Amino acid sequence: MKLPEKTLRQLLFEMMRIRQIQLAIESRYLENEMKTPVHLCIGQEAVAVGVCANLKKYDYINSTHRGHGHYLAKGGDLRALIAELYGREAGCSKGRGGSMHLADTTIGHYGSSSIVGGGIPIGTGMGLAIKMQKKNKVSVIFFGDGAADEGVLYESINFAVLKKLPVIFILENNQYSVCSKVSARQAGDNIFHAMPAGLLMTKKVNGNNVLDVYNASLKAVARARTGHGPSFIECLTYRIRGHAGCEVQDVPGYRPVGEIERWKTLCPIAAFRKKLLTNKMITLNEIKKMEKKIDKQIEDAFAFARTAPPPKPETLPLYLFRE
Amino acid sequence: MTWSKTKQKIIEPAFSNNEGAEGKRILCYDEAIREALQLALSRDKRVFVMGQGVDDPDGMFGATRNLHLEFGPERVFDTPLAEGAMMGVAIGAALAGMRPVYFHNRPDFLLLAMDQLVNHAAKWSYMFGGAAFVPLVVWACIGRGWGSAAQHSQALQGLFMHIPGLKLVMPGTCHDAKGLMLAAIADQNPVLILDHRFNFNYKGMVPPEAYTVPIGKGVIRRKGRDVTIVAVSHLVIDACHAAQEAAAYGVEAEVIDPRTLRPLDEEIILNSVAKTGRLIIADCGWKTGGITAEIGAMVAEKGFTYLKAPIKRIACPDLPTPAACNLDEACSIGRDNIKKALLELTR
């Protein structure tokens, strides 16, 4: 499918933005001012961006502990994200959630769970609500290969198919759960790839190719919006950094160094950038301008977060219940 | 929807079948719950009922009987046997603006949904600084007897009372079964209602209109000066009978039905103990780390100076429930245990 140049440039910009923000978090992480376990999505940007480019502001997403990219790609506020990492009242979860629990209901992001697979049935239930309310929304659920080990995925997809829900399951296969390789945990290909297409649209795509992700999720979104039921898209990608923290905190020894280096050469952003440059859809100068624009946003967000006040101690019991 | 305008009934006149209810309408326990659901489904299109067997001919001991015929299979539906995912589905639907009521046959099966209930439903409002909230009702029925044994007899309220972010409701009368169900549906937060199977033998006065019983408010079922009995769920009526029998021996017991275990109406309990100086707590769950332990600790902490005698706890022995009738019976508590404790405390 041929996309307008503007859209292509936007896809590049969004991926660059998520990458630069991740790098900025990483470069400041050892200052120990962001006292929260960050799970960086460096190398996986194409999944969040390719999917979210097909969504409307009112569509729902459900994310995970590795959720910065999903939050940003859906349009989550950058200042509120960084303030959350600094444990500030101005954070998107008022400093109560931390890096793993981001939310912005104004853009359809109702919170992410750090229990692996925990968000899958919740996103499915949001799909049920959409259907019952006869709304023209879709519910997208991002989860990793670790969550695909969990029985709740099977239970949720079964229910989504049974009720023909407007839900899109995005398996972001970055090949590792902490230090465990997917092949040590799963017997073979995910069973849902064997489902009849009429019941569940399934697809396997190169998760490092933003256009592949975009095109697959475009079909899934159209299918969901027209009442044809759920889809399951597996995006193969790679976790360049360790499970949590910054590069130097990744424990050595559980994966070959050569493997990391090889996947670095398959960087989703570098590949797409090259493609646009080669096809003269963007110039180096324009890319530089984008980088500068993003840097400015980052500086602004960190300056905001560092100086924002932490929650007042007397607010500790707030929010347990909604009055 | 005008839940906020629903009439609140704080004091219920009658504790048992007919006292104070002359000329009033009498319903069975299942009919009371069913009427609450019927009213909620009629008044609020966000409300729906789900759970394994809610559309069975039996309809969850009668509580959901034929609601699917009246409101259609979209709003009253059976679910897969997937407690974990289905609890998450209910949470997600609640987040997206619905008001699910999720029925479970037994609390034992809720254990399969603990991740969603404890890690998700109970956390969601707090974890996101109030950005999102989960107006969810979960219902389960404690069963026992007839050899139901270890995995079909558990009274797990102690486990659920431990969790901040969950409201825990255990009605003891038909009136409250209806009013607390409506209050739970109107609530913006996850509310777990645990009913005891024995309650389904009750009949009682139930006003026909929509009304709520406030969550977090207990009620005095019987006034007395000598001993306070805090009794939970079906044991409320047992405690009232035990108190009446003990009155023949000159012992006047005050019976408190907390109705909600979390939030707990501490004030009503402490005020009573301040008057009587003696406390019995009766709950059908396990003793260790359970309801009786928590209420006992609360009174020891906040009302120690009121106490004239050690607190007495009546609870299920710390054992899995055995199947054989005689052994099962030995794990059961009721009127006689409460009466015995009353007489011992006032001897």
Beta-bridge partners for B204: B27
CB contact under 8 A, B85 and A152: yes
Cα(B215)–Cα(B234) distance, integer angstroms: 18
For residue A24, give its domain range: 5-304
Share of chain A above pLDDT 70, in %: 100
State which residues of chain B have pLDDT below 70: 1-4, 8-23
Specify if A321 maps to a domain: no
Q: Which amino acid is residue A53, in one-letter code?
A: A
CB contact under 8 A, A103 and B165: no
CB contact under 8 A, B80 and A115: no
ipTM of this complex: 0.96
Strands (E), A32-166: 60-63, 109-112, 139-144
Specify if A312 maps to a domain: no
A129 touches chain B (CB under 8 A): yes
Cα(B117)–Cα(B121) distance, integer angstroms: 5
pLDDT, tens digit, 9 for 90 and up, residues B270-285: 999 999 999 999 999 9
Q: Kindly report the CATH number assigned to the domain that includes residue A11.
A: 3.40.50.970
Nearest Cα residue in chain B from A316? B126
Q: In the prediction, which pLDDT does B14 show?
A: 45
Residues A117-138: what's their mean pLDDT?
98
State the pTM of this model. 0.96
- Chain B CB contacts of A125 under 8 Å are 88-96
What residue segments make up the domains of chain B, in order of their start?
24-206, 219-346
Out of 3.40.50.970, 3.40.50.300, 3.40.50.80, 3.40.50.920, select the CATH number for domain B24-206: 3.40.50.970
Cα(B72)–Cα(B63) distance, integer angstroms: 16
A315 touches chain B (CB under 8 A): no
| Region for A132 from its dihedrals, namely left if φ exceeds 0, alpha if ψ lies in -120 to 50, beta otherwise | alpha
Residue A2: pLDDT band with limits 50, 70, 90: confident
- Chain A CB contacts of B164 under 8 Å are 320
Contacts (Cβ under 8 Å, ≥6 apart) of A257: none
With vertex at residue B211, the alpha carbon angle to CA B208 and CA B217, rounded to the nearest 5 degrees, is 135
Cα(A72)–Cα(A14) distance, integer angstroms: 8
Q: What is the DSSP string of B28-91?
A: EHHHHHHHHHHHHHHH-TTEEEEETTTTSSSTGGGTTTTHHHHH-TTTEE---S-HHHHHHHHH
A95 touches chain B (CB under 8 A): yes
Q: In the prediction, which pLDDT does B13 show?
A: 44
A318 touches chain B (CB under 8 A): yes
What's the token pair of residue A225?
């919006």
Specify if A49 maps to a domain: yes
Cα(B41)–Cα(B33) distance, integer angstroms: 12
Specify if A310 maps to a domain: no
Strands (E), chain B: 7-8, 26-28, 47-51, 76-77, 99-104, 137-142, 167-169, 191-196, 203-205, 211-212, 219-222, 227-231, 253-257, 260-262, 279-286, 312-316
CB contact under 8 A, A126 and B95: yes
Share of chain A above pLDDT 90, in %: 97
Q: In the prediction, which pLDDT does B16 show?
A: 46
In the numeric block, the tokens 């109970």 are attached to B122
Q: In the prediction, which pLDDT does B6 show?
A: 74
Nearest Cα residue in chain A from B128? A93
Q: What is the DSSP string of B161-186?
A: HT-TT-EEE---SHHHHHHHHHHHHH
The number of folded domains in chain A is 1
Which of A103, A129, A321 comes nearest B93 by C-beta? Answer: A129
Residues A141-164: what's their mean pLDDT?
97
Which one of the listed residues B104, B120, B152, B241 is annotated catalytic? B152
What's the token pair of residue B67?
């609601």
Which of A91, A97, A122 comes nearest B88 by C-beta? Answer: A122
Which CATH topology does B219-346 take?
Rossmann fold (3.40.50)
Closest to B113 (Cα-Cα) out of B140, B143, B95, B142: B140
Beta-bridge partners for A51: none
- B152 belongs to the catalytic site: yes
3-class DSSP state for residue B99?
strand
